[in-house]
């Protein structure tokens, strides 16, 4: 194999330049040496939406989009979904290895004892209208926690970071459940530390007047699997937001709020809610061909299909599809599942989608499961944000430890006006030019 070097010839000057190739990349800064004149700024790369730009080095999640591979810290997602609890996977994603028995016991105890919210949070939530979107409430409440824990701004202290990480992972389900209860006008339910992470979440969502909530084990395990599948996904849009905001050394509550805001978009984590609205719009299996034609005419996107990285089947969708069958054995079959299965079959055989490598992604089936469990569609992205908080925080912690990282500040190609001046006759009302 030849030398790991890229030789670039600038036809404008006839000069050649060398850029070392490391891990399949060249450093963008190595292009700045390429100038037409000595005082030039030098060559930059132009990569809108970062289609072909690595922003960091990370050891957390590995994805192979062509082979449909997803691994957390080297473990295939399928094995983690089969053999682990969500908090075990959270520990793995955050720390790089699976916990031993004593480590897991300590980790679970730590998370359980930080599930409560400061009582003033209830007053904060009461300020929202009854019909406020849960994601708006979640993003705002997470940001508000930065006022409850002002010490969180000491982001360079690893122990301080770990404390805030535990608090956020522990409190996300409580915040989510409180937004749900607020939207239904129901009293908040306090965490029950006798219950596991997802069973306690169900307790805070659905406990009524019974003395002790008992979670259906099939549904609790299904939520645990869904949370595992959503925990991290390398440099997706919301993780990029987490890293960009975190790079200014903003505290982890404000950074997580920014990441959750990015997740809420319909092209990202908001897609699961859009899938249900799309299935409602289609209405029946018989109307699928008509809808597919409208998608191919560019009128709609097929929500829950396509992915920036996966140009093959999203491995998470396969596990979620299996989980859906387990859930429907408890909740009863859902007519939307029949439409979704028929829609998937038709789309996978249609040249338009095959040519564009559009396969079901993680959002296609998750929404149907959540709906069968009794969640309203506007809660679906909240259910995505809870587990993805683990990934956002692991990526943020990795960023804070990375000696190569500094504040994110991309450049631009300026397309605006050349210098121009105010009319001389305009009176001076401010600071005279040239003082």
- Contact residues toward ligand SDX (CB under 6 A) are 233, 236-237, 267-269, 271, 295, 301-309, 356, 358, 361-363
- Is the Cβ of residue 19 or residue 295 nearer to ligand SDX in the bound state? 295
Q: What are the phi and psi torsion angles at 8 (to 5°)? A: -120, 130
For 139, other C-beta atoms within 10 Å of its C-beta total: 23
DSSP string, 318-346: HHHHHHHHHHHHHH---HHHHHHHHHHHH
State the catalytic residue, choosing from 10, 268, 350, 402: 268
Active site residue 363: yes
What is the rounded distance in angstroms from the CA atom of residue 302 to the CA atom of residue 123? 40
How many Å apart are CA 259 and CA 264, to the nearest integer? 9
Told to judge if 378 belongs to the known catalytic residues of this protein, a careful annotator would answer no
Query: What is the residue-wise DSSP string for 88-139?
Result: HHHHHHHHSS---HHHHHHHHHHHHTT----THHHHHHHTS-TT--HHHHHH
Question: Strand 5-10 relative to strand 69-72: parallel, antiparallel, unpaired?
Answer: unpaired
Closer residue to ligand SDX (CB): 49 or 209: 49
CB of residue 354 to ligand SDX, shortest distance in Å:
11
Whether 133 is catalytic is no
Residue nearest to ligand SDX (CB): 306
CB contact at 8 A, 237 and 268:
yes
Cβ 310 to ligand SDX, closest distance in Å?
8
Catalytic entry in 182, 232, 307, 378? 307
Residue number, 62 or 190, with CB nearest to ligand SDX? 62
Nearer to ligand SDX, 103 or 350 (CB): 350
- Nearest distance from residue 362's CB to ligand SDX, in Å? 5
**Least gap, CB of 183 to ligand SDX (angstroms):** 24
Q: How far apart are CA 383 and CA 369, in angstroms?
A: 11
What token pair was written down for 269? 């984590």
Q: Is the CB of 175 or the CB of 385 nearer to ligand SDX?
A: 385
Report, in Å, the least distance between residue 301 CB and ligand SDX: 4
Positions marked catalytic: 268, 307, 363
């Amino acid at each position: 194999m030849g030398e790991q070097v890229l030789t670039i010839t600038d036809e404008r000057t006839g000069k050649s330049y060398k850029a070392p190739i490391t891990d399949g990349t060249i450093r963008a800064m190595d292009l700045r040496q390429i100038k037409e004149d000595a005082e030039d700024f030098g060559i930059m790369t132009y990569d809108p939406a970062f289609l072909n730009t690595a922003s960091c080095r990370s050891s957390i999640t590995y994805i192979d989009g062509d082979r449909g591979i997803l691994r957390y810290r080297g473990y295939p997602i399928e094995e983690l979904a089969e053999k682990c609890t969500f908090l075990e996977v959270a520990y793995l994603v955050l720390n790089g290895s699976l916990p031993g028995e004593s480590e897991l016991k300590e980790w679970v105890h730590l998370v359980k004892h930080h599930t409560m919210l400061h009582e003033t949070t209830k007053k904060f939530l009461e300020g929202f209208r009854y019909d406020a979107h849960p994601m708006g409430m979640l993003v705002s409440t997470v940001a508000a926690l930065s006022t409850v824990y002002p010490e969180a701004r000491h982001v360079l202290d690893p122990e301080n970071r770990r404390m805030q990480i535990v608090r956020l992972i522990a409190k996300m389900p409580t915040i989510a459940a409180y937004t749900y209860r607020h939207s239904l006008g129901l009293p908040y339910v306090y965490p029950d530390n006798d219950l596991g992470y997802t069973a306690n979440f169900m307790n805070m969502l659905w406990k009524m007047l019974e003395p002790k909530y008992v979670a259906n084990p099939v549904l609790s395990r299904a939520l645990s699997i869904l949370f595992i599948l959503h925990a991290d996904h390398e440099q997706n849009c919301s993780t990029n937001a987490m890293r960009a905001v975190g790079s200014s050394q903003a505290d982890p509550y404000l950074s997580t709020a920014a990441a959750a805001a990015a997740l809420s978009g319909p092209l990202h984590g908001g897609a699961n809610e859009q899938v249900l609205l799309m299935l409602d719009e289609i209405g029946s299996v018989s109307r699928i061909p008509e809808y597919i034609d409208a998608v191919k005419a560019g009128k709609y996107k097929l929500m829950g299909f396509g992915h920036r990285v996966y140009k093959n089947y999203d491995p998470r969708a396969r596990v979620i599809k299996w989980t859906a069958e387990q859930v429907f054995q408890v909740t009863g079959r859902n007519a939307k599942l029949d439409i979704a299965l028929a829609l998937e079959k038709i789309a996978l055989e249609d040249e338009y989608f095959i040519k564009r490598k559009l396969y079901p992604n993680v959002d296609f089936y998750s929404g149907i499961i959540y709906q069968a469990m009794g969640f309203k569609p506007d809660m679906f992205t909240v259910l995505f944000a809870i587990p993805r908080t683990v990934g956002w925080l692991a990526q943020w912690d990795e960023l804070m430890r990375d000696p190569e990282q500094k504040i994110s500040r991309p450049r631009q190609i300026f397309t605006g006006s050349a210098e121009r001046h105010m009319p001389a006759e305009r009176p001076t009302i401010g600071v005279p030019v040239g003082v």
